[in-house]
């Protein structure tokens, strides 16, 4: 569970990043989940965007991906969402103490 301070730190890091995960009309499918898992394993912090034709909101997509990837939701603004998952083999991102 992330603290408010840690969430704020991750939001500041995500602000500089481009969205690399896009969810379209099909919604949260197995390929999207696989891509999210792969991106989280490589980066720890992933920014995604929900396309206009998607039936889900960004918050719903974030919740579904968090459950599927065992990640934590950091932020949702409009159609953009941010996910975080600490790498088990050593974190790249050093979170501030809670």
On whether residue 71 sits in a domain, the answer given is: yes
On whether residue 60 sits in a domain, the answer given is: yes
Average pLDDT in the 87-94 region? 86
Per DSSP, what are the bridge partners of residue 80?
49, 77
Instruction: Give residue 1's pLDDT band: very low, low, confident or very high (50, 70, 90).
Output: confident
Phi and psi at residue 53, in whole multiples of 5°? -85, 5
pLDDT tens digits, 17-41: 999 999 999 999 999 999 999 999 9
On whether residue 52 sits in a domain, the answer given is: yes
On whether residue 92 sits in a domain, the answer given is: no
On whether residue 93 sits in a domain, the answer given is: no
The total number of structural domains in the chain stands at 1
pLDDT tens digits, 60-74: 999 999 999 999 999
> Looking at residue 44, what is its pLDDT?
96
Question: What is the widest separation between alpha-carbon atoms in the chain?
Answer: 40
On whether residue 97 sits in a domain, the answer given is: no
Residue 12 maps to which CATH number? 3.30.110.60
On whether residue 54 sits in a domain, the answer given is: yes
**Domain of residue 29, residue span:** 4-84
The phi-psi region of residue 90 (left if phi > 0; otherwise alpha if psi is between -120 and 50; otherwise beta) is: left
Query: What whole-number percentage of the chain has pLDDT above 90?
Result: 90
On whether residue 91 sits in a domain, the answer given is: no
């Amino acid at each position: 569970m992330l603290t408010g301070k840690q969430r704020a730190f991750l939001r500041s890091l995500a602000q500089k990043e481009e969205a690399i995960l896009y969810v379209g009309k099909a919604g949260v499918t197995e390929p999207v989940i696989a891509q999210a898992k792969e991106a989280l394993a490589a980066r720890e912090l992933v920014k995604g965007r929900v396309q206009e034709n998607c039936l889900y909101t960004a918050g719903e997509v974030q919740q579904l991906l968090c459950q599927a990837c065992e990640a934590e939701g950091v932020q949702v603004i409009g159609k953009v969402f941010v996910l975080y998952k600490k790498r088990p083999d050593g974190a790249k991102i050093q979170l501030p103490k809670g």
